[in-house]
A and B are shown apart, each in its own frame.
Chain A
Amino acid sequence: MRYIDTGYIDLPKLHATEEAIAKSGKATLMTWVARPATVNLGYFQSAEGEVDLDQAKRLGLSITRRPSGGGAVLFDEKQVYYSIVAGLDSGVLPKGARACFLKAADGLINALGEFGLDAKFKGKNDVVVNGKKISGNAQTNRWGAKVQHGTLLLDFDTGTAAKVLKIPVEKVVDKGIEAKDIRGMIEERVTTMKKELSRDVDREEVKIALLRGFARALDVEFTEGTLKDEEKEIRDSVIQKYESTDWVFRR
């Protein structure tokens, strides 16, 4: 299975690349790092409902929407991301939503295990360490393919996330947490590799662990590759959609 280390990439280009790979049908794992820092909305979310748009503007954050569901997140260089794109009938990823999340979680759990961290799948689409979220995941079935992607938190800019994301009180109650403040709430729910390991973690180290982790979870061997010319053409022809205001504010 092809592996592409995409390096730094902006979200519209990343989503356009996922779409191009899905359309070309070549099963691929990508690792990537989000730059510039961006608020990424789940496909079904309302931009106004989830994001403090004025605050995002003040902080110089882009706002983007991904083709997959799930919740709004802050993407930045402190995290390492993965995307697995594979034909729906390729057998690489399970077709069912939960089974696919569990498969991806296996890869992440394997990778975190290499750092001595005991991670588990939790709830709908999270991977947790010591009960706290360290990875959020999403998926979509489009273009005849499954796109499964997510993040691994090496570190997290809790302050910026708390400022820009409108986290509803309804999300806080029932979690056994007092809603004292949003930042405190995030800190009680979210952890990072840096926190768990009490050291800075190198991105390259994490990428290698992810590669091995997914190889075991998906039972495949990875060969490093690049995008084909036809994939680049598709990417460049669809990128405008993901950059457009119509797409970002569609709901």
Chain B
Amino acid sequence: MREAIYRAKGGIVRVSLDAGDAIKKIKITGDFFIFPEDSIERLEEALVGTSTSEGELLKVIKDFYENIDSYGIEPEDLVKAIMKAV
């Protein structure tokens, strides 16, 4: 697993990543707020299999954001954090 820490405007995002061309395993942690809280696990599941390109990641995360409320981090922040760990 590769680790990265990214400082977004609204907080810290840490990513642990196992990826080749696509994500095999990912854990996203940090001091942000997401409602409902269990959606973070669902986001991680949704990201498995996604190719490690900014465009693909942004698309998956933006789609995911349709059904959650977040406070502190934006989809772009998560993409930057993930790309830092690639």
Contact = CB atoms under 8 A, between A and B. Distances in A.
B7 A142 contact: no
Interface string A39-72: 0001111100100000000000000000111111
Contact of A71 (B11, B34, B36): B11
Question: What does DSSP make chain B's interface, helix, strand, loop or mixed?
Answer: strand
Contacts of A24: none
Given A44-B40, A170-B12, A174-B7, A251 B35 contact: no
A217 B69 CA distance: 24
B27 A68 contact: no
A124 interface: yes
A141 B30 contact: no
Contacts of B10: 123-124
Given A69-B72, A97-B71, A124-B10, A251 B29 contact: yes
A70 B37 contact: no
Interface string A168-190: 10110110000000000000000
A124 B5 contact: no
Given A124-B72, A170-B7, A173-B7, A97 B12 contact: no
**Pairs A-B, 6 closest by C-beta atoms:** A71-B31, A69-B33, A97-B71, A170-B7, A46-B29, A141-B35
